[in-house]
């Protein structure tokens, strides 16, 4: 008889309650995924140490362009979950989740979440083959970065027909990676209702101003459209469905990043408490410290299971994705918050200095808590999906 999972941890048998038609083998990493993780960890370990991350976020671009090109050219990260017909590798979001986890482990500021998970998914979900053929190959090659506008926050953007086609007017605030993205996928109100548009911004008709945010590794911007040329993507009436699907994909991708960041925090803590001594003993031998680390391990393992399940749902386009994405958002965000709190506190006085690497993770964890909705938002949505809301 199998033993129940520890409190806060989700077992493979428990995830069957979601009635997803996959078994534990789908939630286990394949040899290819393990190799991908190993290669990425080696590369990112060389290029994304804490000091290098700080240098990247202070640069004009906000991330390392050389690393971005290496991720595309040497490993093909940007194209992992994109179809082969559009220049991708034809894998699934399960493979992309491995990459996101490893980038989250080093708080890499590269725009993989926005360019591939959000914008790439929006193009695919639109079903517009012309738009996919035009922009997805460039996204897969790393030659083009993209983001979404009006998906995460309400935006006052309208679309109107001009003499040479559609143009956009209005503004959207706190657009992720909005300052430097080459392509903007914009949710705008057209005369016949909301619709998705693609805009390649230029300085003459689109102003983009960087916002000062808590997490410098995830830039955001105020975007103002002043008659910017745009092309409609997809059909009328499908915008709301595309946005909903993109947000769930974003929650799954963010959950994977949070698992990676939590794992780093635990590893760093284990190294610290094993070497730091008090009263002639390593502080990791004290019972109170052991209990805190054990509780953190349980939370992280629960988050890892929730993230793996959500990634599997996204990979097979399961109808259970909204449930899985919401659950992963709650569990993984909570684990990341706890992990970063312990990262600071168990390092003692040095952990409270801004110069310590822990603060890169603290800022990422706190800022991400509201990126796709707060935990309360996710719980309310889950209650509605499960028929528990009154």
DSSP secondary structure string, 352-388? GSTTSTHHHHHHHHHHHTTBTB-HHHHHHHHHHHTT-
Spans of all domains in the chain: 24-145, 147-237, 240-385
Topology given in CATH for the domain delimited by 240-385: Butyryl-CoA Dehydrogenase, subunit A; domain 3 (1.20.140)
pTM of the full structure: 0.92
Question: pLDDT averaged over the chain?
Answer: 92
- Range with lowest mean pLDDT among 105-109, 158-162, 333-337: 158-162
- Residue 332 · residue 263 · CB < 8 Å: no
Share of the chain above pLDDT 70, in %: 93
* Separation in Å, CA 317 to CA 94, 264, 303, 322: 12, 30, 21, 10
- Nearest-CA neighbor of 341 among 269, 278, 256? 269
Q: Binning pLDDT at 50, 70 and 90, where does residue 351 land?
A: confident
Q: Are 100 and 47 in contact (CB under 8 A)?
A: no
Which H or E run contains 185?
A: strand 183-190
Give the whole-angstrom CA distance, residue 28 versus residue 18.
17
Q: Nearest 10 degrees: CA dihedral of 343, 344, 348, 353? A: 140
Residues facing residue 183 across a β-bridge? 146
Above 50 in pLDDT, residue 10? no
pLDDT beyond 70 at 196: yes
24-145 has which fold?
Butyryl-Coa Dehydrogenase, subunit A; domain 1 (1.10.540)
For the segment 9-38, the average pLDDT, to the nearest whole number, is 61
| Number of residues that make up the chain | 390
State pLDDT tens for residues 298-318. 999 999 999 999 999 999 999
pLDDT tens, position by position, 223-260:
999 999 999 999 988 999 999 999 999 999 999 999 99
Opening angle at CA 296, ends 291 and 297, nearest 5: 100
Q: Do residues 168 and 231 make contact, with C-beta atoms less than 8 angstroms apart? A: no
**Is the pLDDT reported for residue 264 higher than 70?**
yes
Q: For the CA atoms of the chain, what is the radius of gyration?
A: 21
Strands 146-149 and 206-210: unpaired
The CA distance from 373 to 330, in Å, is 10
Q: Is the pLDDT of residue 4 over 50?
A: no
Mean pLDDT over 332-348 rounds to 96
For 68-83, write each residue's pLDDT tens digit. Answer: 999 999 999 999 999 9
pLDDT in tens, 115-139: 999 999 999 999 999 999 999 999 9
Please tell me the distance from the alpha carbon of residue 236 to that of residue 195, in angstroms, as a whole number.
6
Reported as a pLDDT band with limits 50, 70 and 90, residue 278 is confident
CB 67 within 8 A of CB 45: no
In this predicted structure, the answer to whether residue 172 has a pLDDT above a threshold of 90 is yes
The strand pairing partners of 199, in sequence order, are 184
Neighbours of 1 (CB within 10 A): 3
Q: Give 214's contacts (C-beta < 8 A, 6+ positions apart).
A: 363, 366, 367
Q: How far apart are CA 278 and CA 288, in angstroms?
A: 13
Cα distances (Å, whole numbers) of residue 154 to 210, 260, 290, 293:
18, 30, 45, 40
Supply the pLDDT for residue 187. 97
- pLDDT at site 19: 40
What 3-state DSSP class applies to 151?
Answer: coil
Q: Topology of domain 147-237, per CATH?
A: Butyryl-CoA Dehydrogenase, subunit A; domain 2 (2.40.110)
């Amino acid at each position: 008889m199998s033993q129940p999972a520890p409190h806060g941890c989700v077992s493979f048998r428990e995830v069957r309650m979601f009635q997803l038609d996959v078994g534990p083998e789908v939630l286990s990493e394949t040899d290819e995924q393990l190799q991908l993780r190993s290669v990425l960890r080696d590369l990112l370990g060389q290029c994304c140490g804490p000091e290098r991350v700080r240098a990247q976020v202070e640069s004009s671009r906000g991330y390392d362009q050389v690393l971005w090109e290496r991720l595309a050219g040497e490993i093909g990260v940007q194209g992992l979950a994109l179809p082969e017909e559009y220049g991708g590798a034809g894998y699934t979001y399960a493979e992309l989740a491995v990459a996101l986890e490893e980038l989250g482990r080093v708080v890499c500021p590269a725009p993989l979440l926005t360019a591939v998970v959000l914008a790439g998914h929006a193009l695919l979900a639109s079903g517009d083959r012309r738009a996919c053929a035009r922009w997805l190959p460039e996204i897969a090659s790393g030659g083009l970065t993209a983001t979404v506008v009006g998906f995460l926050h309400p935006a006052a953007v309208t679309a109107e027909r001009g003499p040479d086609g559609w143009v956009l007017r209005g503004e959207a605030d706190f657009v992720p990676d909005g300052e430097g993205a080459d392509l903007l996928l914009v949710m705008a109100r057209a005369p016949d209702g909301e619709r998705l548009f693609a805009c390649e911004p230029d300085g003459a008709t689109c102003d983009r101003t960087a916002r000062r945010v808590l997490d410098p590794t995830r830039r955001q911007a105020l975007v103002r459209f002043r008659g910017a040329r745009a092309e409609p993507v997809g059909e009328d009436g499908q915008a709301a469905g595309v946005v909903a699907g993109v947000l769930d994909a974003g929650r799954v991708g963010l959950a994977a990043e949070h698992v990676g960041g939590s794992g780093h925090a635990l590893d760093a803590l284990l190294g610290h408490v094993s070497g730091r001594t008090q009263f002639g003993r390593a502080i990791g031998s004290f019972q109170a410290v052991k209990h805190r680390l054990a509780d953190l391990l349980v939370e992280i393992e629960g988050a890892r299971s929730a993230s793996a399940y959500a990634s599997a749902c996204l990979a097979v386009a399961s109808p259970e994705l909204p449930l899985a994405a919401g659950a992963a958002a709650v569990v993984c965000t909570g684990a990341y918050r706890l992990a970063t709190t312990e990262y600071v506190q168990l390092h003692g006085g040095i952990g409270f200095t801004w110069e310590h690497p822990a603060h890169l993770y603290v800022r990422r964890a706190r800022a991400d808590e509201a990126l796709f909705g707060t935990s309360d938002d996710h719980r309310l949505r889950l209650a509605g999906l499960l028929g528990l809301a009154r």
